[in-house]
Amino acid sequence: MFFVRTASERDLAKVSELLSETWHATYDALYGADKVSEITARWHSVPALKARLERKDSEFVVADDGKAFAGMGYAAMAKDRPKTAILHQLYV
């Protein structure tokens, strides 16, 4: 059984790996493996994920069973609309 919980810094390497695997499975045929690796290295690196995790007006969650991750999500408040949250990522 998987549980959704707030992500922590110790989760970021696994989240990065999950996003990389997902992006390669989805986009390699379209963009090529090298381009996908370049994108995931920039967007899904641990430092890039850490910046999202530390953002005050956001929520970063993971779904895990204590052994493996089954998904992640990231939402943040819109800067120009104070009562609007935008879902930026949802991977399951």
The amino acid sitting at 61 is: V
Task: Quick: pLDDT tens for 21-31.
Answer: 999 999 999 99
DSSP letter string over 15-38?
HHHHHHHHHHHHHHHHH-HHHHHH
Tens of pLDDT, residues 55-91: 999 999 999 999 999 999 999 999 889 899 999 999 9
CA distance 89 to 76: 10
